[in-house]
Each structure stands twice: as C-alpha cells, then as structure tokens.
Amino acid sequence: MLDPNLLRNEPEKVATGLARRHFMLDVDALKALDQQRKILQIQMEEQRNARNEASREIAQARRQGLDTSAMQAAAGQYGESIKALEQSLETVLQQWETLVSSLPNLPQDSVPEGQDETDNVVLRQWGTPREFSFTAKDHVDLGEALGILDFAAGARLAGARFVVLRGLGARLERALAQFMLDLHVQTHAYTEIAPPFLANADSLFGTGQLPKFEDDLFALRDDPYYLIPTAEVPLTNLLRGEIVTTLPQKFCAYTPCFRREAGAYGRDTRGMIRQHQFDKVELVQVVRPEDSAAALEALTGHAEKVLQLLELPYRVMALCTGDMGFSAARTYDLEVWLPGQNQYREISSCSNFESFQARRLQLRYRGEDGKPQLAHTLNGSGLAIGRTLVALLENHQQADGTVLIPEALRPYMGGMDAIRA
C-alpha cells in the first residue's frame, strides 16, 4: 500500500508515478474523500467540545441546586450528532481504504518505460542455447516417451492444466526441490520454512493478492481460506504485525502453488508451462530500506545460481513499467531457454516491493532513533520446479530420447547420470 501521507500531501506526484505504469489515478476523487474526512473530523471535534462544555455547565448547575433536565435533553443531542458523524466518517474512511488498496506500487525511477513484455530490457545472458544435430523434442513428447509425464492421467484425475509425474519423473521433481533447498539454506543462508498451504484473507491482503486478484485464487467454498498461489504469502506474513529486532530476515520454502490462471485462457495449454497446480521453491527477504536495492541483486543471483549449476542457458530481464506486478517497485525476470519452444520463458521473477507490502502487513523494525519504521520486503522464485524440469528435459535431451542429468543434480538422483526409456 502506498504511503497515505504522500497520497494526501502530493497526490499529483503519485499520479505521475502511476501514469508510468499506465494506471490513471483519480486525483479529484482522492482529494474529495480527504476533504470530507477533514470536515467530518473538525465537526466531530466541535461537537465533542460542545458536549464537554455542556457537561461542565450541567455539573455547575447541579452544584447550585438548579433543575438540569432541559440542559440534559439539549446535551443529549450532541451524542446523537457525534454518532451520526462517526458513522459518516467510517464510510468515508472505508471508501478511502478501498481506493488506496486498489493502487499499485510506484515504480522506481530506474525501471524502463514500456507497455508490455515486448518492452522489457535484457540485462545479461548466461550460457549459449545448444545447437542440436537432430530435431529437438519438447518436454511433452520427451516425457511421454520416457514414461515419466502422464498428461492424460492428470486430465482424468482433475482436468486440464494438470499432470501426473510417474517413476523417475516424480523422483526428478523431488530431487530438484531438495537440490534447490539445500543450495539456498547451506550456501545462501536462508532459513527453511514449512508453511501451511492455506492462507486467510488478511495474509493475502498483506502481500497484495487481495482484493485485486481474487479471481486468480482458489477459495474454499465454506471456509475463510484460500489455497496459496505462492509461498511468498505465508513467508512474508510470518512477520506480520511485528517489530523485528534483527534484519535481514531470509526465508525459503518448498510448496505447491495453486492458481486459476484466469487471465491466461487459451495460453500454454500444452504441457507443464502454465498449470493450476505446480511446485516452487520461494525466496523471501525482509531488510532495512537502505539495503533493499543490494538485496534484490543478491536474491536474483541466488536464483541464477540454480540455473547455472543445472547448466541451463538463461537471460535476466528488467521488467518495464507496464509489465511489473501490482506490488513491485522493481522486478527482474529470469528467462530460461526452452528448445522445444525455441524461445526464452520466465522461470523466476525477483522483486523489490520496498515498503508497499510492509505497510499492509505493519511489518516494522526500530531505526537508530528507536522509533518503529517500515521494513522493505523482497521475494523471488528459486525456482519454479515444473518449469525447471521442463528446461532440464529439453536442454539435456539426446538423439535417442535419453535425458542427461547435470552433475550437480546426480547426488539427488542416487548417482544416476541419465533418464532412459
């Protein structure tokens, strides 16, 4: 959530920043609501002062032995007036909250201008896409031929955008998760968390999924819970409402993730690229504001290390203003090369949210003056396991349909060097 003081004192500045994201802020509506708030608060203060004065006059009259019934009746009207004003103020504050909670974060000045993903900027590239001496297959054909991916069974069990992993496919997914967790915990110094896979509305509001993106969530019908769309939700909410004594805090978790993909109808219907359920290792950092820029670079590097060890070519993209997520102030996407699609595809998104989430979460730390201040939050995929499995199958396939296992992953596959039919 944006700073309410900035919204009240410099709404035009906020509007200019949001315009870079192609979001038009209704400054007049914002100002009108704030003006109503001020008027109602002044009127309430006047009525309370008048009631207090009336109470003093009644007390003085009683001490003089006078009849105060008429004075009491008149004073009672102040209470009714104050109650009505309080109700009006509550309505205005709710309208303000609804408007403000719908506003995305302001992009950092360094974020490239642009409309959509075509305007994102390549920052760097690692590895060279392999040139095959045979016709490369995509992961669907490879996985089905190897007997490790069963899309027909997934459709029977649940429907479209689900898959069953069999035998070495299931083991490969488990191995990737364990490999990623060990790397981030042992080398990158994250604390591993095993969070709930359900979250309440307060948690999803805190990280920015609610109210704007409710259509993308799976909600339980008769209970106030949602299936988590990412471990970012429980990990960031671990510190909700707290004044943290030690920063930075670094968490990672392996969880399933659940998304309706409401805005992706008809996209990536083949294979594992865009599914309703997928596994992911998530990275979250909570840091001091002055450290968040460096933390984003470090967190992105942690996700990159996974791809490097798995020998998967990728590139790092700076997302433009028109392609960033709702809560982000700056985002880097890692895009892995997929031979089966002959293009780079997103496998991790690493974002600095600055104080946007922390304000919703009331996640604070004490500054040098001892006063509570809002922390900065960051998160990134480290990595999306399904897409990593896809990239591994497609990049390390051989002419006979065998898939080589990268050296770094072999200890997690019992020393196996390849998956064979």
Binding residues for ATP, as ranges, are 259-261, 346-349
**Distance from C-alpha of 182 to C-alpha of 97, rounded to nearest angstrom:** 42
156 given a catalytic annotation: no
Binding-site residue numbers are 230-232, 259-261, 282, 346-349, 379, 381
346 given a catalytic annotation: yes
311 given a catalytic annotation: no
Rounded (10°) angle between helices 139-146 and 385-395: 80
Set 130, 274, 315, 410: catalytic member: 274
**Distance from C-alpha of 100 to C-alpha of 171, rounded to nearest angstrom:** 46
Helix (H) or strand (E) holding 252: strand 249-258
Binding-site residue numbers for L-serine are 230-232, 259, 282, 379, 381
Set 259, 330, 345, 360: catalytic member: 259
**Distance from C-alpha of 35 to C-alpha of 30, rounded to nearest angstrom:** 9
48 given a catalytic annotation: no
Set 203, 292, 349, 355: catalytic member: 349
Set 57, 144, 242, 346: catalytic member: 346
259 given a catalytic annotation: yes
Instruction: Write the DSSP assignment of 352-405 as a string of letters.
Output: EEETHHHHHHT-EEE-TTS-EEE-EEEEEEEEEHHHHHHHHHHHTB-TTS-EEP
Cis (ω within 30 of 0) for the bond into 248?
yes
- b/e map of 105-120 (b: 16 or more CB within 10 Å)? bbbbeebbebeeeeeb
User: Among 216, 244, 247, which Cα is nearest to 230's?
Assistant: 216
**Distance from C-alpha of 65 to C-alpha of 58, rounded to nearest angstrom:** 11
Question: Which are the catalytic amino acids?
Answer: 259, 274, 346, 349, 387
